Structure formats: C-alpha cells, structure tokens
Structure 1
C-alpha cells in the first residue's frame, strides 16, 4: 500500500473513494455513491469553514493559507462535525446518524488506503455528540442472519483456499520473491478467514479478541491462549478477568490450517497480527537496530523479503495484534467483495458485534435464554432484555394458536 502524504488535500481522495463504492462500469453509478458524494462535499465545505455557525472558521490553522488536508484530521474534528450535524438544523436523529455514517465510512477507507493512521470517526469521543436513536429496541441492532453468515464464511473460505493452493503449487523454479508474495497473500487470506469464523461462531466480543490501544491488558489473543484440541480460548472478559471461551467445531479447522501456514516462532505471537506495512516496517527497523544491525544492513536485509511480515516471522520480531478498528475495516472490505446484501440503518457492512448478536439469536431460539447467557458471558436477565423480540414473537405465535383453537370450537 503506498504511503500518502499528510499534506494531501481531503478532496483528492473523494473520486477514488466514490469509484470504489459506486456500481456499474467504472463505479459511476448507484444510490450510495450519489448520497456519499453529497455528504463528502458538505463535509469538505464545513472543514473549509464554509458551513456551520457564524464564528466557525474550519479546521485549517488560522496562519495557514491552504485548504483542509489529512494532516488536519483527528478525532476532535469528527467530534465537532458530529456536533454540527446534531445542531439546530431540523434533522431527525436517524438522519444525523445516517449522514455521519457516510463520513465515517470514508474515514475507514482512508485508513485502508494509507491517508490516515486511525479510524478517528469511529472513536467513542468522536461519536459522543451524535443523538441517541430514540425508540431503537435491542432487536433492531445488527445481527448477522444465517444467510449473511453463510455467505461471508463461504466467501472467505474460498479466498483462503485459492490463495493457499496458488502458494503451494508454485513451480520449483519460481522466483523467491514471487513465492514470498504468494505466501503473504495466503497468510492474509487465511488470517481473514480465521477472524471471520471466530467472530461468526464464538460470540466473543471483538474487544476481548483483539488489541485495544487504550488498555494494555487487551493485547489481543495469542496462540498460547488457544487450545485447539480442547476447543477453548482464554480471553480477557468485559468483567475484567480472564475466562475460557468455547471454540466450536466450525472454527477449529480454519484456525488449525492458518497456524500451520503461519508457523509462528513462539506461542506468544498474536493470532491476528497486523498486516499494516507502515507499522511492520517501523517495527522491523527498530528491532533490528536494537539488535545491533547497521541501517545499511537493515535495508539490505529487508530487500530480501517481499514483505516485512515475512522477515518478522523468520526473526521472531513479534508484531502487535490488529485493533478493533482494524477488524471493522477488514469486515467492511470483505462484506463488499462478498457482495452481501445488507439492509440496516446503521451499518452498510457486517459489523463485528453483529456476529455475536447473530449467534445470540441462534442460541436463544435453539436452546433458550439460560444456555445462551452462559455462551454469551452475560446474565440471563440481560440476554432476555437484548433478545426480547424473540420471546415477543414466540408469544405472538402462542396467541395465534390459542385464537385458532378457540375459533375452531365456536
């Protein structure tokens, strides 16, 4: 991924983003593209100081004679924009949420493309001024349906199988760097498959699975935390203690084949390491320098590898786990490439928490609230509240059956 200069103007990214999001040949069509283009234009005008309150001058420093650039963006900017959207403009609460999601989706894309270092728009502090979605019931929150779960897992499984087959069937005379590129592609596809399967079937909270930059205790699960033979995984729970989570059968094979392909130097390696090239490049340079290598030697060493991740594996330079923001970006990418039909007011992709809620739906319907509560690591009371729409539907069926019974005797 090419590194983008922080001085790049914001609107330089708009057309590429809209092409990626658009439909049809060249990405020129589609309702989403049209709506996103409108909101990006509004955001750019606001950032330049052309919208907002009378005293609003934009996000560019007063002593700078230029337009807004990526260097001007941080979570405080998105917080101010959320406050601007929620101001006295007569917009409904769900409309404010929708407008902000267009900008948030662009922000996530900018992270993937190297324009930004972090998904600032998804930070809790940035989203805090957004109005609450009044009247939203727990059942209205995203939960992956069986069709969506199967579509996504089938997609990542096919991608991983194809990538691994391509890597393992290279001719003997293949250029070493080309073979390394094949291994890297296979590792990335296998990691994505394992991540999706874990999120889809374990109901583990994404914050328990991956790294939280603001909490050193949440450093992401490592291979030493997994017992594939026993079907369990140790995670740091929301209740601030370590606990064992179940790894059901569908998860074991993707994890086992992924581990075999990665062959981590030690069990202390993260199960889901970052593949961000900028992060890995800095990590490799710093670690090798600490080991006494000269800058020239480090450069030559890195040139022997197609990707720094492969050098890190060979030299046991342990990378950090991906973050929860990273997982959201991965799922956004995979939801798009899988062309999954998603009709939800808040998310245009299969969000990580939707996998947990989807499994909750399955467990409540199949085994009841008590079993579901144990699997979800929640109280039965909370599970009953969160999935109250299921009980309401079942009671409706009972009422219908009762009415039919009465009617048949009258």
Structure 2
C-alpha cells in the first residue's frame, strides 16, 4: 500500500538531520530522541496541549472582520497527524514517504492559514480521486488535528536551508568577525575564541549569543570604527556550519526549534511590545511585526532583529528600556512566535464574501432558512476561527464533490482572497 520510501512509526526520521543537518545541535536531547521531541511510544492522548488563540485587530471597517491566529504549542506535533491520517502514504517529506503527491518539503510555503486552505481545497477533487483509486479511506480530522497539521506544514520552511562551510569561513573575514574573535588560531582576542565556544555550533545559540552581547559588540565596533555587520539568514547558516566544523568543545548543548505560544509570553516579558505591534496593541512606535516581510526561515527572522540592532539600541535608550537578554530556549521560542505571525490572514470583506458565497454556488446547497441539500450555515455557530471552517469544509468535501458531480457542476475553485472573504461572511452570518 505504501508508495515510496517507508519508515515505521517508531523510527520517523528527523527533519533536522535529514534535510537540515546543521540543526542537529539546535534540538534539545528530547527532540533528538526521534527527531520531533516525542518518545516513540507516545500516543495522541498523552500529548494534549492547550491552544493559544490570538486576535488580530484589522482595518476599522464595518465590512471587514479581523481574523485570528491559532498557535500550536509544538508545531512538530502535527507530524503525528501527518502519519496517522496517512498523508505520508502519498506525500513525502525530505524524500521519505509516498510519491503519489509532491514532496512537501521541496516547495516553499510562507503563506497564511487560509492561503494553505485554498491550496488544499482546490486540490480536493484530485485527492478524492486518488483515495478512490488507491482504495483508501478519506481521512476525517478534528479541529485540533487540523491545527496541528497546518502548523506542521507551515513549520517545514522555518528551519531554512543547510549552510556552506566554505562560505561561512570567508564570511568571518568579510564581516569583520575575526577582528575580535579567534577561529582556528587566527583572529583577534577581544572576544571569545569561537573555536572553543561549543554553543556557537548551533544557529540558534549563535543568534542568542550575538544578541546578548549586542551592546558590548556595538561599543567595540564604534571604538574600532568598523562597519556594523549586516547579515542574511543564509549568512548565519553558513557561519554556523563552519563554526560547527571548527568547534572543539562538546556538542551536548542543544536548543529546541521553539514554542510559539511561549514566545508570545516572552514578546511581552522582554518588552518587545513597547515598540512593536505583535497582536494589535494600540501603541506603535515602530512598524508592526505583522507588516514586516516574515517570509523567511528562522535565521532570516533572527537577522531582521540583528540588522536593526543599532536602531533598536538607540530607541531603547530613548524609551528607557533595558536591552533584553535571552537564556535557555527563549530566543528559539521568540523567533518561533514571530515566524508564526506570518500565518495571520488579512481581514476579510464580508460583502465580497457574500458575493463569493453566491457566485461559487455555495448558496445552491446552503440556503438560508433551509431548503437546500446542505445545512443552513447561518444556524451553525461554528466559525469562531478559520481552522474551524477549514476543518468542516475538509470533512464534508467528499460529500460536496458527489453533489457537484450529480448536479453537473464544476468544483468551486477558491483563491486566498475568496477564502478570506468567505470566512468573514460566514462568521458574520453565524453570529447573527
């Protein structure tokens, strides 16, 4: 039945060692156990975690409704859903899995919740045909399972790409790092010898250490009249790859990929909210994070912070805010939270949503006051979140397709904007 490279549940390969080997030192010992932070005999009922729903304040308009972000505590938990619901039978990740559908780790996706929903919905008929051809049962998902699955798929790009050792070595010179730091017996002695600092073997530890030493590094840069080093996410991956090879210390220190729900708390505790809009706070002295291009992996998000270090330090002094320090897994958690802000959908237009509801033929089956083949959606008060709407649509897509075929109609193709506006409309109607 399995079409592709097989593995058993107890030996699911680690994404970190498989596709992103430079992140093998990023994970805690628990994550290294089977690559995802779970004991291999851990069942779903042992992993129930609360979800965090974040309201996003949208444009102030009567025709627009704000969307919401739902954050999974552990985005990698969705790999259990991916396996148990047999997505793995058709879709591979990093070359492991089925070959019927595309390898999901080879396609960049930095879109929102409803953008991903649009992609899946538009391919539902094709997937349904494959289910029938392969004599597979069409999987049904709960709201929590859908959230976990979406979080997992969105998280695949978070870890970025492997680093280049040779380019990392040259970057240490071109960015001026060896002016203060010694590596492989060459360089300055102002800062620590990076060859003996085990934590730098991980990109996340490297970013956290750089941030914590930011004020001291900025002072030294001013003294030596050096240019402030501007880094890309790939630069960090490359430097980390080289340092990991050059490091002689123990590599036992690891950091998990990050918990976005904990990151939200840190966003407030570290006083990021003093200047940055994360979730619709009223006071904004700098551009809100949801307005910044967050379509980047973890190192890309981290370098956004680093590259704005000088401006941030000046702002903090004016605002009497201390430079925040991060310990343990805090930087990873914060970066995971910032990354997931890109999962937010823009507010939908309820008026256009009603037009979509009619033009796409939804009204033919879902009529107000009944009379259609499907339920009156105005009586279903179940559209609190986009994930809930997506879950209902997915679970009924098979039945919907049968009705579309018998009615000699085309499957309603929905763009991201259509999905967004349709959700806004259904949410408004259901709240009446």
* Pair in the same fold by TM > 0.5: no
TM-score (norm 1): 0.27
Q: Which has the higher contact order (CA 8 A, sep 6+)?
A: 2
More helix per residue: 1 or 2? 1
TM-score (norm 2): 0.26
